[in-house]
Amino acid sequence: MTRFLIRRILQGLLVMWMITVVVFLLFFVGPGANSVARTLAGKSATPAIIAEVKRRLLLDKPLWEQYWHFLWLLLHGNLGYSFYHGQSVNSILVAAFPITLSLVVGASVLWVTMGVLTGVLSAVKARSFADRTFTGLALLFYSMPTFVLGLLFLEVFYYQFTIHGIHAFPGSGFTPLTTNPWLWFRGLVLPWLTLSLVSAATYTRLTRGSMLDVMGDDYIRTARAKGLSERRVIFRHSLRAALTPIVTQFGLDVGILLGGAVITEVVFGMPGLGFTAVQAIVQQDRPVVIGVVLVASAAVVLANIVVDAFYAVLDPRVRLH
């Protein structure tokens, strides 16, 4: 188990190193130091700012020295400096990350709970009215763009409620948990539902298909023949065997969304990583874009390592590979 995890961690570090190389080549290698410095400084940069960018990033040095300096800063947790905002990229992302984390953690709990439970029920009651209902709803939400569902929620639960004197949910913004837990929760309900309903559809179909695949296996029939309760057969044996693709999907979804739930954050005006990335692209604030790309990549790599660890717990045979 330990060797398995060490190997996966080393592979993850290798992937992150390759990502830093790609990011460096995309953003730092250009037709000349001046153009690279002007690009990184932003569209409104003055000659003095451009000169400061060249000095800080060693853009007048050989490429290998520039990359080593870039990598050395990353190893020390320094994601760069935004001349557009006049502050470090670290401070910008530190302010945005808790918002994205609050959104993703709450939504992931909802979509896994809804998706797995409805998927199990659909598999156990295959071809029943409940199965067709859940499958139809899953297809409906899976086909619905996130921004459409978010705008529908805002139209009904914010706009219509507000004009009728019901102030149940805020239309946009984010209240930190430490400031007011109730306002934090109330402001996240609609974004959570938007993200979870769209994502839960995938888990419903994935759980149903995986459960149907394993429920006809010999060991399931043996478990029933031994007199085990149906609940134990379903949740202890069938569901555990069917969890591998679900864990894979969950790790990918959470890893990607930790890099910014772009559409949901923009629709609900939540200044998380996705919202920050969109603003940085519009403002041509390249250091912030680089920071978001690296944080998102690290989140995906970390999520995959955690998924591999769960594989080893769910299926001991994985430890041999």
pLDDT for 33 beyond 50: no
Contacts of 156 (CB under 8 A, 6+ apart): none
pLDDT reported for residue 94: 92
Q: What is the pLDDT of residues 201-224, one digit of tens each?
A: 889 888 888 888 877 777 777 777
Q: How far apart are CA 144 and CA 162, in angstroms?
A: 25
The first and second tokens of residue 242, run together, are 């069917």
The helix-helix angle for 47-57 and 63-75 (nearest 10°) equals 80
Question: Tens digit of pLDDT for each residue in 130-185?
Answer: 888 888 888 888 888 888 999 999 998 888 888 888 887 887 888 888 888 999 99
Asked if 217 and 133 count as a contact pair (C-beta separation under 8 A), the reply is no
Higher-confidence residue of 35 and 209: namely 209
Please determine, for residue 1, whether its predicted confidence score (pLDDT) is greater than 60. Answer: yes
Give the CATH fold of the 92-315 domain: MetI-like fold (1.10.3720)
* 3-class state of residue 170 by DSSP: coil
Least confident of 31-35, 99-103, 171-175: 31-35
Average pLDDT, the chain: 83
Does pLDDT of 120 surpass 80?
A: yes
Q: Give me the mean pLDDT over the 262-266 stretch.
A: 88
Query: CA-CA distance, 231 to 174, in Å (whole number)?
Result: 41
d(CA 100, CA 195): 12
Q: Could you give the percent of the chain with pLDDT greater than 90? A: 20
* Residue 137 CA: distances (Å) to CA of 133, 144, 205: 6, 11, 10
Which pair of structure tokens corresponds to residue 217? Answer: 């296996």
Domain residue ranges in the chain: 2-89, 92-315
